């Protein structure tokens, strides 16, 4: 089983969430500069952590972020190249999303991009307390790789003894991914890494 983070790995959502953040912060009386990079150093990378960093109630801020995102008319684009990765992996080994986003947000994205069939489960932050807990619960089902773009993804994988693969096109830079067993620059590199790590065959399309 391969576990994927969602935002920044599959969903090219940083721009969307940046807008959601500014609107939500304004509702809490916080005026954020346009050039702020609030997600870059968060550990763990959750909206609760962000709310705490901004000095507001973490749970209320996370709920407000989710509500603001749900009000958006469209969904973010798919990270370029990830459809090929997912198409290659689909059916070869179970794929699961483990994300700090809410399940409904993720499922809406997957539906819009015709990817719902690819994943055997979608586990959002509304149904788990921490990624460590989720990954540990998935171990009996064969979880052995976590693909993410944040320090907390790498730390969670290490904590339960599975392979941590960090992607460099996501929300956090390489210096935040020091716990990764492997870093990949592009989705094509990711597919090659997963095929090698899990003994899968990479097919050309």
Rounded Cα gap, residues 117 and 91, in angstroms: 10
Token output for 47: 């909206």
Tell me, yes or no, whether 83 and 61 share the same domain: no
Domain coverage including residue 19: 14-70
The pLDDT confidence band at residue 200, using thresholds 50, 70 and 90, is: very low
Catalytic residue from among 5, 7, 149, 153: 5
**pLDDT digits over 141-156, tens only?**
999 999 999 999 999 9
5 is catalytic: yes
Confidence of residue 203 (pLDDT cuts 50, 70, 90): very low
d(CA 201, CA 174): 27
Which H/E stretch holds residue 111?
helix 103-112
CATH number for the domain spanning 8: value is: 3.40.50.1000
Q: For residues 98 and 125, what is the distance between their CA atoms, to the nearest angstrom?
A: 8
Tell me the pTM. 0.88
Q: What is the pLDDT of residues 84-101, one digit of tens each?
A: 999 999 988 999 999 988
40 with 92, same domain: the answer is no
> How many separate helices (H) and strands (E) can be counted in the chain?
8, 6
């Amino acid at each position: 089983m391969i576990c994927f983070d969602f935002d920044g790995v599959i969903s090219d959502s940083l721009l969307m969430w940046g807008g959601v953040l500014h609107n939500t912060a304004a509702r809490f009386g916080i005026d954020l500069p346009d050039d702020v990079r609030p997600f870059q150093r968060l550990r763990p990378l959750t909206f609760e952590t962000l709310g705490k960093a901004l000095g507001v109630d973490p749970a209320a801020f996370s709920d407000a972020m989710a509500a603001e995102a749900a009000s958006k008319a469209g969904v973010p684009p798919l990270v370029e190249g990830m459809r090929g990765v997912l198409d290659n992996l689909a059916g070869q080994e179970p794929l699961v999303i483990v994300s700090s986003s809410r399940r409904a947000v993720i499922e809406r994205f997957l539906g819009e991009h015709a990817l719902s069939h690819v994943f055997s489960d979608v586990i959002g932050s509304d149904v788990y307390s921490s990624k460590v807990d989720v990954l540990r619960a998935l171990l009996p089902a064969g979880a052995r790789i976590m693909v993410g773009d944040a320090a907390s993804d790498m730390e969670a994988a290490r904590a339960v003894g599975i392979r941590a693969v960090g992607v460099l096109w996501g929300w956090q830079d390489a210096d935040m991914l020091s716990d990764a067993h492997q870093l990949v620059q592009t989705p094509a590199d990711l597919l090659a890494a997963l095929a090698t790590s899990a003994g899968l065959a990479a097919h050309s399309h």
